[in-house]
Chain A
Amino acid sequence: MKKLSELEKDAEGVIASVNGDARFISRITSIGLTPGCHVTVIKNEKNRPLLVYSRDTMIALNKAECAQIEVEGGKKA
């Protein structure tokens, strides 16, 4: 199990759990990142939001907050 924020570029995985305050969970759910959902990391660079692709959508995520998302797998494709 890895944190989403630790995944390298091109890594793929399946979300295992989402943690954090109610507001964050609600927001992250509404953009489609729920447990069981497949994600691909498009870009992960210092001082920039993380770029992931999931449910047909490119999503930019603040790094501090996506440390609260755990991912199963996470190997480079």
Chain B
Amino acid sequence: MTDKNETVIALLGQPNSGKSTLFNALTGLRQHVGNWPGKTVEKKEGRFTHNGKEYLVADLPGTYSLSANSDEEMITRDYIASGKADVVCILADSSQLERSLYMLADYAGITVPCFLVLNMSDVAADQGKKVDASALEKKLGIPVVLLSAPNTKAYDGFYSALERAVKDKTSLNAEALEKRFEELDTYRNIKSMIPENVIPSYSATWLATKAVEKDAPVIAKIKAALPDGARSSFEAAVDAVDKGVVFTGERKFAWIDELLEGTVNTKKTKVSLGKFDRLITHHIWGKPVVVLTIVLGLIASFIPALPFMGIGQAIGKLPDPLNEALLNIGCPAFLAAIICDVILRCLSFIIQMLGFVFGVTLVFGLLEEIGVMARISYVFDNTMAKFGLQGKSVMPFLISFGCTMGGAAGTRVIDNWGQKVLTIALAWAVPCGAAWAVIPMLSTVFFGAWTPVIIVVILLVMILHMWLTAKVFGRSLVKVEDRQGMIMELPPYHKPKWGSLLRYVFGRTKDTFLRAMKVVVLVAFVFWLLSYTSTGTITDSILYKVGTFIEPVTKIFGLGWQTFMAFIASSLGKEGALGVLSTIFTGSGTISVGSMVSGTTAANINELLVANVSKPEALALIFAMTFNMPCIVALAATYQETHSVKWTARIALYYTGVALLLAGIAYYVGLLIW
């Protein structure tokens, strides 16, 4: 119970048990996502009401067992031990009970009330498996319910199992499993030494099993609870065990087999890979098929994005006439400028980008639900492991060629927070669609036929940048001891359920919109203040004064104050850089957020650029812009996905620094050439 009198349910299950689908179905939009205190692990909580009762759902991190090998597992264990949960909902995959009941077996001996959800009952039924939930219920002593989590219309069984577990405080009957453990002398020996109440709600059976498994935190707890004289004999008993995990693991699976005997009817079928699986896992065709799948997914993302883009563009047309109208009715110029130039233009920009986030979340959420993402992970595992990432990270990287914000949204399918943040950090180095629109054009103006060479160099620098960034941030985000080879199940393909998927996608899009709006308006407002002048000439703005004041420093990186302004503008939006240069060189109008994101340029911009910027300076600007922070919306999306101000700021500062550094290198190389 919380102090608000909510019943607390903790969801416990292995990855791919459909835990997040159940969590989303239960809590809908009433979710809060954050991090576990001091840990790089995502914490999800949500609320729902049923039969007039309030429930708080804690989505525990997806882990394979309750051992102590990772932060995720420790958090899960500590949460259950904390007594915060009134009931633990354990999930298993009905189509793979032989394996997925392991979590239940690992839970045996914990006295916190629980019930068992056999998820993906539809997949099991399709495979011709019949599961007798009531027979299992008798054997286990806890409510057992078959469920297809995406089918939110059929949740009655789930709710009644939940209510029974809460009312009767049902705890798992683990006697049969205990008997199997008793076969081992060392287990009996260790168990006899364990004192009362080492960890509340964790029984001597559970503690002894973990001690046999050489679980360091449990052993330490037991030792601390033992009287001085008993410690050494306990240590000796633990030391005498060899490969305890294998021993208890065998017993747990034997217990599962015994449970399933007579409760599950399976038609034994010979396994083979389906047509698509044979293609996607092919040693030559696999990678091209994955890249093609992602590119097609990217194109498909544009279809749901189009309405958003239309709305965004329509809003983008409002500021000019509205500004005029406001001035006509006597509204102060600065107020009109804030409304039109800051708020409306930001809104237009964000809504257009948001369409892309919506599309990417929908299409790649769909691929995840169907089971395609797991295959992508398999195909790119070897390549991405070099960066400390999982194979799925290839998808956000490819999406980032289109839009970094979309790439950041795409990292949702990565279940490890550290790897997710690292993927976003690396994806920033991938030049986005806006950069590809600006850079080749800029490069052609200055370097003509050499443009392809510059593009190749940019791509090479990108790879080097990603490699370096993985080195810089990798160690703290993905600990070396957490980097292990792939051990992952490839789930069977699932039919998507559109209702729950769409609800989830709309929820995430709304969250992204609110958060992006806050960040973007704030940054745009600050920038607007800095560039605002009452006279209309840029030389009166704070930005100009600061720019010219620090010019001696920016010159080191090959950027004069004008190109430095363009560089700053490119961190808000790449298209804006040209607009800014245009404004400065024509000496007309002010730099505004409007010119920043819409990128309006003078007709003779090419001649102006060549006349005002030398070739080495141009090269410096090209690299500074390409590898700068992608845009403010990408910054906001990064914050939204990582929910860490610290990491978002760290990545942004790092990119600004590296972009200047690259500009400097490009400048001096340019000086040598020309």
* Cβ A60 vs Cβ B486 within 8 A: yes
* Cβ B64 vs Cβ A31 within 8 A: yes
Q: Is B281 an interface residue (CB 8 A)?
A: yes
Residues on A with C-beta less than 8 A from B492 are 58
Which range holds the interface residue count of chain A? 35 or more
Residues A30 and B486 in contact in the complex (CB < 8 Å), given A36-B250, A56-B97: no
Among the 9-residue stretches B177-185, B221-229, B377-385, B665-673, the one with 4 or more Cβ atoms under 8 Å from chain A is: B377-385
Among the 9-residue stretches B241-249, B290-298, B329-337, B578-586, the one with 4 or more Cβ atoms under 8 Å from chain A is: B241-249
Contact check: which of A22, A34, A62 meets B487 at CB < 8 Å? A62
Query: What mask results when residues 18 to 32 of chain A are scored 1 for a CB within 8 Å of chain B, else 0?
Result: 100011111111111
* Cβ B489 vs Cβ A62 within 8 A: no
* Cβ B67 vs Cβ A30 within 8 A: yes
* Cβ A49 vs Cβ B486 within 8 A: yes
Contact check: which of A36, A37, A42 meets B271 at CB < 8 Å? A42
* Cβ B489 vs Cβ A31 within 8 A: yes
Residues A51 and B490 in contact in the complex (CB < 8 Å), given A27-B69, A32-B99, A56-B98: yes
Query: What mask results when residues 73 to 108 of chain B are scored 1 for a CB within 8 Å of chain A, else 0?
Result: 000000000000000000000011111101000100
Residues A64 and B246 in contact in the complex (CB < 8 Å), given A30-B102, A42-B273, A48-B281: no
Query: What mask results when residues 29 to 49 of chain A are scored 1 for a CB within 8 Å of chain B, else 0?
Result: 111101111001011011111
* Cβ B271 vs Cβ A40 within 8 A: yes
Contact check: which of A26, A32, A49 meets B381 at CB < 8 Å? A49
* Cβ A48 vs Cβ B283 within 8 A: yes
How far apart are the CA atoms of A61 and B378 in the complex, in Å? Answer: 9
Residues on B with C-beta less than 8 A from A46 are 283
Residues A61 and B283 in contact in the complex (CB < 8 Å), given A27-B69, A32-B98, A49-B378: no
Min C-beta distance of A2 to chain B, whole Å:
19
* Cβ A56 vs Cβ B96 within 8 A: yes
* Cβ B246 vs Cβ A31 within 8 A: no
How far apart are the CA atoms of A58 and B321 in the complex, in Å? Answer: 61
* Cβ A18 vs Cβ B283 within 8 A: no
How far apart are the CA atoms of A25 and B248 in the complex, in Å? Answer: 11
* Cβ B487 vs Cβ A61 within 8 A: yes
Name the residue on B nearest A10 (C-beta). Answer: B272
Query: What mask results when residues 377 to 395 of chain B are scored 1 for a CB within 8 Å of chain A, else 0?
Result: 1110110000000000000
Residues on B with C-beta less than 8 A from A18 are 243, 246
* Cβ A43 vs Cβ B273 within 8 A: yes
Residues on A with C-beta less than 8 A from B465 are none
How far apart are the CA atoms of A43 and B213 in the complex, in Å? Answer: 32
Name the residue on B nearest A54 (C-beta). Answer: B99
* Cβ B98 vs Cβ A55 within 8 A: yes
Q: Which residues of A contact B (CB under 8 A)?
A: 17-18, 22-32, 34-37, 40, 42-43, 45-49, 51, 53-65
User: What 14 new A-B contacts, CB under 8 Å, besides A25-B246, A31-B489, A58-B490?
Assistant: A26-B67, A30-B67, A31-B64, A31-B102, A31-B487, A37-B253, A49-B381, A56-B266, A58-B492, A59-B487, A60-B486, A62-B485, A65-B485, A65-B487
Provide a sorted-by-A list of 19 A–B residue pairs whose CB atoms are within 8 angstroms: A18-B246, A23-B481, A25-B243, A25-B245, A27-B69, A28-B487, A30-B65, A30-B102, A42-B271, A43-B281, A45-B283, A51-B273, A51-B281, A57-B98, A57-B489, A58-B491, A59-B488, A60-B486, A60-B488
The 10 A-B pairs with the shortest beta carbon distances in the complex, nearest first, are A62-B485, A29-B249, A30-B64, A32-B99, A30-B65, A55-B98, A55-B99, A58-B490, A45-B283, A65-B485
